[in-house]
Structure 1
């Protein structure tokens, strides 16, 4: 009789198909679908697939090339394309990506540089700028700007609201953070109300 033998499990089988069935079903055999290599445990198999094939461990899925895999990791698993770290949500990823951006927004009061307009405004509001301006003065200037009608809140408990979606904010820095997070369609184009305010602020600080 013809026998097939599994060396790893020290077992004999009466046919090649029985051996193949054993390899498919046994937890001691973990076959790579890309190259047919056999691994003793699932962790070794997944490490191999990740190292040698375009494979997503989370989805247990192979891709045609590196580019397709990277696109999948970014869109489905919130991967930072700059450093390869993963994040639990798109908003956490966006906040992290700020750490890779250049500080090119200048404070009109002290010439320090910031990554976002909201960070620069928060710097002014908290009174840490050398110019001595604080939250109260920043709010006053926001309402002195000729475009304030577009971002002044209609709610008594808030001073500001988004010109596009009307989400209310206590402070102008929070409004800018909302806009720069791409949570709505409002932008900071040259003629937008918030961009006009930035130019107005720059001339008053």
Structure 2
């Protein structure tokens, strides 16, 4: 499998280890959200995990559901999965007859957990990142959002540009077409993105890449003055905050703040 360095576009036919050794030697940054098994890269951890569950691409040692083949990065994600799909409480080692029963159990004094729900359709989204994905992907039946519409919605309540970038030179989503014959690279026998030269083994893989936010304009940024990292989706920004990598907010603060970000009645302000 062919891997590439995102900083210098060098290809590594020997595989991931050769690419990683190159990054260590040159100081180039390896992909942050790369599949454990193949060379697919994603914009955030949510998409990476979704891909690895669909393709069974998890690496050895990843936490696994005791009832099915679902895997995740952390044990906490597995616990949430087992609650939602298997009515199972890992902390108590107890399985319930239905979802309503376990939800009542989790609301009892034994458990004091915070759950993020969509403010429009009330579906359980798990985390603030999950809610952001729910809205940006148009999954909410009450509010027909997508990446563009959610940005306009948030931008209207963020006049100080605390988390949203300015609308200068922004005209909405870009669309890209594919010429299969022109996209095919006979030298490496793969389809090549003409924008970033990333290689895909199938035309569908290239199409998914071009339909993703990868080559869209960055719409958001971290409000930490010492960070200011930019993001193409709200979910990527929220995931960054949840990771506590720039230490501007704690994970639980992000869960409590997401409701203010998507609440039409409130202006976005510094938490």
Q: Kindly name which structure, 1 or 2, has the bigger radius of gyration based on alpha carbons.
A: 1
Normalising by structure 2, we get a TM-score of 0.35
Bigger RCO (CA 8 Å, 6+ sep): 2
The structure with the greater share of residues assigned to helix is 1
